Structure 1
Amino acid sequence: MKIWKNQFIEFILNKKILIFGDFVLKSNQKSPYFFNMSLLSTGDDLKKIGKFYAQALINLNIKFDVLFGIAYKGIPILISTILALKNDFNLNIPYSFNRKEIKKYGEKGEIVGHKIQGRIVLIDDIITAGTAIKNAINIINKNKNSKILHILVAIDRKEHQKNKISAKKEIQNKYLCQISSIIDINDIILYLKNKNILKEQLNILIKHQEKSYLE
């Protein structure tokens, strides 16, 4: 596993962005872990998360025109990624994000930032039910001169319920785009094994994945 992926897992564990317990997700699935990007709360946090997303984008080696973030949690991730792309890789990428409510005065509209056009990469924290991502794609697709090219999230759960297609697979099939992640649950399992830490949580994760229907 790449060094920066290990560093990302260490970061989300230290910040308690990744926590373990008994959770019910937005998709109504039960999970022994929860991923909460809302805990990013300092300039240093945003600087670090931006570098991880920027590195993941560079590793994808794709050409795109606009980076799009989803209100609300996706906005700080978007801005920090844009700054990291410029500062660390000298890439001056246009960005835009949606409003939760359409502005009815001034310039009006539902988009802040660059005009949505060309090849769009969308970034968000995680795909659970996929509702927010689907809504964002529908906004992007209103412009006939734009195309959703790729979606980048922090973590891929790599699971879905029996006899049901996962939100990730559904989005890829419906919108003909690819979805990538900085890490997936197997990276976390490998990290805990190699570090020989959180053994109880590790065993629970392994059992959970064995019961899951991998894509």
Structure 2
Amino acid sequence: MPPPTSRDTLASDELAQDFVRFSVEAGVLRFGEFKTKAGRLSPYFFNAGLFDDGAKLGRLAGFYARRLLDSGLQFDMLFGPAYKGIPLAAAVAIELARLGRNAPFAYNRKEAKDHGEGGTLVGAPVRGRVVIIDDVISAGTSVRESISMIQTAGATPAGVLIALDRQERAAEGTQELAWSAVQFVRDRLQLPVVAIATLADLLQTLSNTADPALAEHAAPIAAYRDRYGVAAH
């Protein structure tokens, strides 16, 4: 299965920049100094858990749905890995239905249920071509677990849809790797990854803004990309 992203040749686009602006307005994308899991000091932080009311979640689902439909990725259903992927998959399924593409969705529990319907999977039967929906890919662990569950159910992973691709080199402990988590999923796991926006989109938006309070964050983010970034992909 060929593993390209949907935007290999695009540095930025209108949908992505609208999403960046929305994330800033919603307080989901913040600027300052934040320590990452890899121990790096990042000049920005993206926390999708702060899309925490109906209006913000509904608008977020619109961005996901539009990016998925525009990507050309062929799919039969959605899968949301616990925990952040659960409301995302549900919200995106609602938005897709509103746009005329009614697709079933499912998600997993962290612990298997030993009563009622039992098992770890909840929702529609997992079958056909399945798109995994999450906020970001940090290490690829969640994606690998989702692939395993989907394949065990007899279905086919079709791709991963995320909100933001940080385009940043992954790390194992104190060792920096030559590839990003997204590149790992795309190249090693042979699974297409579609992102609403990327670090390149964030920089493009900050470079084009008329708001000096936002524009001042472009330089430290560009420096961070120079230090930890990967080639566009």
Same fold (TM over 0.5): yes
Give the C-alpha shift of residue 131 in structure 1: 2.2
Task: Choose the corresponding residue for 1:166, options 176, 180, 187.
Answer: 180
Q: Residue in 2 aligned with 1:212?
A: 228
1:68 and 1:97 in contact (8 A); partners too: yes
Q: Distance in 2 between matches of 1:164 and 1:28?
A: 17
Q: Distance in 2 between matches of 1:37 and 1:213?
A: 21
Give the C-alpha shift of residue 210 in structure 1: 1.6
Task: Determine whether 1:10 maps to 2:6.
Answer: no
Q: Distance in 1 between matches of 2:54 and 2:229?
A: 38
Correspondences of 1:1-215 after superposition (within 5 Å): 1-87=12-98, 89-143=99-153, 145-160=154-169, 162-197=176-211, 198-215=214-231
SS, match of residue 217 in structure 2: helix
Q: Distance in 1 between matches of 2:200 and 2:135?
A: 17
Aligned AA for 1:139?
A: M
2:106 and 2:125 in contact (8 A); partners too: yes
Q: Distance in 1 between matches of 2:117 and 2:88?
A: 25
RMSD: 1.6
SS, match of residue 141 in structure 1: helix
User: Which digits, 9 at most, give the CA deviation of each residue in 1:96-127, with x for residues without a partner?
Assistant: 11111111111101011111111111010011
The runs of 5 or more residues in structure 1 that have no matched partner are none
1:160 and 1:212 in contact (8 A); partners too: yes
Aligned length: 213
Q: Distance in 1 between matches of 2:127 and 2:14?
A: 34
Q: Which moved more, 1:48-57 or 1:129-138?
A: 129-138
Give the C-alpha shift of residue 173 in structure 1: 3.0
SS, match of residue 4 in structure 1: helix
1:26 and 1:129 in contact (8 A); partners too: no
SS, match of residue 82 in structure 2: coil
Instruction: Flag the structure with more relative contact order, 1 or 2, with Cα contacts below 8 A and sequence separation at least 6.
Output: 2
The runs of 5 or more residues in structure 2 that have no matched partner are 1-11, 171-175
**TM-score, scaled to structure 1:** 0.92
Aligned AA for 2:45?
A: F
**TM-score, scaled to structure 2:** 0.85
Moved over 4 A (4+): none
User: Which digits, 9 at most, give the CA deviation of each residue in 1:7-61, with x for residues without a partner?
Assistant: 2111100111011122222344432211101111211111101100000001111
